């Protein structure tokens, strides 16, 4: 019995060693980066994705570093690191492309967790033109033309936020329909800046008794090209 356990331990160690060697030296990072970039360009021709590094991570998943997304040649999102942790089923082992992001979403839904670290978002807003987040965590499910956003939590410098909803993907990509609800928790410095703007009256009505914290529930509908915000 002990000998059998030792053999199992040896085989397990050998398997982990081979997996480590494959992950470090043989992982097709350049091919996968090109594959992801091609997929993004097919979905959104005006968008461009830049990835500095791509490799395996633990728990089993993909880790990308130095990510930048631009839209119509304007930078919109930058992130130091993104970890993609898929829910892997037995059918996923047909090939590495079907394990991560590339399975047939019309037949098999893609469920995964995303963890983004040190993110900067550029938005054409009059008071605050950019937002910085320490971390964003998201759980998603993608089947066919529907992307379900199960939950998203964001820890930021200017604000914290949580949201959920769905995106019905259309062609062209900017016509995709949005149905998202959530809550934004403004930090004191951001609250002070916004109170000095045209939003001051709204914020004064929603500030807590101490005047230091405000939570704004919101809803986003419409399309990616013309989103409609309500609160």
Q: What is the pLDDT of residue 22?
A: 47
Q: Please indicate, yes or no, whether residues 121 and 162 belong to a single structural domain of this protein.
A: no
The alpha carbon of 59 is separated from its chain's Cα centroid by a whole number of angstroms, namely 17
**Which residues of the chain are modeled with pLDDT < 50?**
7, 14-15, 17-18, 21-26, 90-100
Count: domains in the chain: 2
Interacting residues of 63 by C-beta distance below 8 A, sequence separation 6+? 53, 54, 55, 56, 57, 81, 82, 83, 84
Could you tell me which residues come within 8 angstroms of residue 137 by beta carbon, excluding any fewer than 6 positions away? 113, 114, 115, 116, 152, 153, 154
| Residue 179 within any structural domain of the chain | yes
pTM for this prediction: 0.77
Is residue 187, in this structure, part of any structural domain at all? yes
Q: What is the pLDDT of residue 203?
A: 64
Q: Are residues 124 and 189 in the same domain?
A: no
CB 168 within 8 A of CB 177: yes
| Domain ranges, residue 200 | 158-231
Judge if 39 and 135 occupy the same domain.
yes
Residues 122 and 195 in one domain: no
DSSP 25: I
Shared domain check, 126 and 42: yes
Sort strands 130-143 and 146-156 into parallel, antiparallel or unpaired.
Answer: antiparallel
Give yes or no: residues 105 and 33 share one domain. Answer: yes
Answer whether 186's CB lies under 8 Å from 159's CB.
yes
Query: Does residue 74 form part of some domain?
Result: yes
For residue 76, being part of any structural domain is answered with yes
């Amino acid at each position: 019995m002990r000998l059998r356990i030792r053999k199992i331990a040896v085989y397990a160690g050998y398997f982990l060693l081979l997996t480590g060697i494959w992950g470090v030296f043989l992982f097709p990072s350049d091919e996968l980066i090109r594959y992801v970039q091609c997929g993004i360009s097919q979905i959104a021709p005006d968008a461009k994705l830049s990835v500095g590094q791509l490799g395996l991570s633990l728990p089993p998943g993909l880790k990308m570093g130095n990510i930048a997304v631009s839209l119509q040649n304007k930078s919109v999102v930058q992130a130091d690191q993104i970890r993609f942790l898929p829910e892997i089923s037995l059918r996923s082992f047909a090939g590495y492309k079907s394990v991560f992001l590339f399975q047939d979403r019309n037949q098999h839904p893609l469920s995964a967790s995303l963890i983004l670290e040190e993110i900067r978002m550029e938005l054409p807003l009059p008071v605050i033109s950019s937002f910085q987040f320490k971390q964003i965590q998201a759980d998603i499910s993608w089947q066919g033309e529907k992307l379900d956003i199960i939950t998203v939590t964001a820890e930021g410098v200017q604000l914290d936020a949580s949201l959920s909803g769905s995106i019905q993907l259309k062609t062209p990509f900017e016509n995709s329909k949005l149905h998202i609800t959530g809550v934004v928790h403004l930090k004191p410095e951001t609250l002070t800046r916004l109170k000095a703007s045209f939003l001051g009256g709204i914020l004064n009505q929603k500030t807590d008794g101490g005047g230091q914290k405000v939570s704004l529930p919101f809803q986003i509908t419409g399309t990616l090209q013309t989103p409609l915000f309500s609160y």
